[in-house]
Structure 1
């Protein structure tokens, strides 16, 4: 009998507690799975408004397929940041249900809310999410109180989304410094004080000649396309670290080194005919904290910081760094034909491919060792000068006009032809095995003519050894030739 009374009392107590829980709001603090707070179709959203403490903090609007920020300032929006926000709220799940029907929303920071997100869909339908205070510290991950606009239930949501909505509008700004592709640029000028360096493409960037650059200031010379393209890529992929000010005073611009920039970079587009149109001008100012630089895009008031490494190549730009250091100036695939000659040897000889795709020497159609032919081509393409100077004189040929006799320079000449759009390149260089250039570690001069350009490249004598070895074999008198033989 006692057991019966005990069981009955326990049942009454359980029912009483259950009733209290249901009466007091139900699943207070209960973890949930799959409880949707609101459901939104991201592609249907046409505008976003974020309010902080009842005041408009940001307005974003979809224009065509892209998002733009309208308030507090009309600037580019980060498409990735906006899409990330929409993806998070598309099917927003609660982490916990705090109250199915909360009586005092102010206890959660929801009356008024700390932040409110208003999503306007096509047709004018609005969906709202209200974010309140951060929940008390617990052993779980950080979370914030939230509810759907017009709803009565209070939930907790992940801190990442909540902090996006309660944070600065800057997080939705596009952090691209220069909104253009390096392929659009036809001319680049870097000015540092009274000095400047300027380069232009030889043609449209989609054509073979458009891949080549030419220095026009402070000298006329072939440009190092790899070095110049690297500068443009650095600028294209530079990302803003911090939005410093959207309304800087003259004093602030001076303090940040932007009234008299350390470097000014001007990029122009066009059709490669010299009729360039200005694309953008970037001012690089003084050093900012955390190894960054103050920068400003001309025509826009905003001042940013970017990592100094992103603009280092611009700050170091010079004619010496931009002049072409590759001697031949052609890629391996561009090489179509070679003419070679050495002082005191038969020649000139021409290296070209026959109908079977084999390299042969003309005249005579003498076959050559194919590996040695490839080795010569690779060695030529790999020749690079440690230093380059613009020359005024034409190099002396080892042919009939060259001086002869004791003490006369022993030289070799190579004429390189590429496709029709690339000028023929003529190289005249010493035979290092028969002169002062043979010394270990010595430097030699290679004279290069390409179109109207006259350049002198200074490089280690050892760079020419493979080129000289193969040409010496090919131009040797018939009785001493090793690798070349008459084709039968």
Structure 2
């Protein structure tokens, strides 16, 4: 091989080695921490936080759907349906309030405009409001499903932003509206008496006389 070519290759190798050492030494370029932060920021921006409150501080919860409404109030350590005093459906209520207390959107609607009818939010299909022990109220309006059925449109009652949320929120709300009371504990059926088996009767044969 030509000596000049060999020297040229060696020089290039040395320069590359110096560059790699310098980038590593002085942290030039994106660090793993920066990349992680960028990823976390991107993920957070894709799932905007709608509500964030302590579900244990909720003292009243109200649901509306068309002409149907249900209010659930806290009395001591129990939840009751207002107006009846019946115990509230614990499983449905707990699922809904916990989900709502840390509600995140699948995404925010870009430039939603002022015509809320396109989202079913001019007259919301459902509304849910949680009142905390300090009087703070969090109210969610729920509209139509998205055209491609990827979620449900929703917004805070006191803000113009429109979001797409998981259908499960509306499902939980409608389940509680349909059945706000704690279902009764089923009564076990009475035991069935099994009659004792009747022992088989062994017949006595007629003796045959000897001739």
Greater relative contact order: 1 or 2 (C-alpha under 8 angstroms, separation 6 or more)?
A: 2
* Structure 1 counterpart of 2:81: 215
Quote the Cα distance in structure 1 between the aligned partners of 2:170 and 2:118. 19
Corresponding residue of 2:141: 283
**1:88 alignment partner in structure 2:** 33
Counterpart-to-counterpart distance in 2, 1:243 and 1:86:
30
Partner of 2:114: 250
Structure 1 residue matching 2:6: 3-state secondary structure: helix
287 and 221 in structure 1: CA distance in 2 versus 1, 3 angstrom threshold: same
Cα deviation 1:116-161 (Å, max 9, x = unaligned): xxxxxxxxxxxxxxxxxxxxxxxxxxxxxxxxxxxxxxxxxxxxx4
Distance, in Å, in 2 between the alignment partners of 1:241 and 1:227 is: 22
Partner of 2:105: 240
Report the alpha carbon displacement of residue 298 of structure 1 after superposing the two structures with TM.
1.8
Cα deviations by residue, 1:450-482 (Å, 9 ceiling, x for unpaired) = xxxxxxxxx6xxx1426xx9xxxxxxxxxxxxx
**From 72, 78, 101, the counterpart of 1:199:** 72
User: What's the counterpart of residue 172 of structure 2?
Assistant: 313
Supply the distance in 2 between the matched residues of 1:86 and 1:194 (Cα, whole angstroms).
57
Q: How many angstroms apart in 1 are the aligned matches of 2:47 and 2:121? A: 22
Q: Point out where structure 1 has 5 or more consecutive residues left out of the alignment.
A: 1-8, 40-84, 90-160, 204-209, 271-275, 327-382, 385-458, 470-488
How does the TM-score come out when normalised to structure 1? 0.34
In structure 2, relative to structure 1, the CA distance for the partners of 1:34 and 1:310 (3 Å cut) is farther
Q: Distance in 1 between matches of 2:75 and 2:9?
A: 85
In 1, distance between residues paired with 2:181 and 2:7?
Answer: 89
Aligned positions of 1:83-482 closer than 5 A: 88-89=33-34, 161=35, 164=38, 171-172=44-45, 175-203=48-76, 210=77, 212-217=78-83, 219-245=84-110, 248-251=112-115, 253-270=116-133, 277-288=135-146, 289-318=148-177, 321-326=179-184, 383-384=185-186, 463-465=188-190
In structure 1, the residue matched to 2:10 is 18
Q: Distance in 1 between matches of 2:101 and 2:125?
A: 19
* Separation of aligned partners in 2, 1:239 and 1:187: 21
From the superposition, tell whether residues 202 and 10 of structure 1 become closer, same or farther in structure 2 (CA, over 3 Å): same
The total of aligned residue pairs comes to: 188
Q: CA deviation at 1:243?
A: 1.1
Indicate if the aligned counterparts of 1:181 and 1:236 stay in contact, CA closer than 8 A. Answer: yes
CA 1:16–1:250: 2 relative to 1, 3 Å: closer
Q: Report the RMSD for the aligned CA atoms in angstroms.
A: 3.6
Write 1 or 2 for the structure with the bigger share of strand: 1
- CA shift at 1:27, angstroms? 2.0
**8 Å contact from structure 1 (residues 266, 281) kept in 2:** yes
Cα offset, 1:301, TM superposition: 1.8
| d(CA) in 2 for partners of 1:16, 1:291 | 60
Deviations 1:44-70 (A, max 9, x none): xxxxxxxxxxxxxxxxxxxxxxxxxxx
Structure-2-length-normalised TM-score: 0.72
Give the unaligned 5+ runs of structure 2.
Answer: 194-211
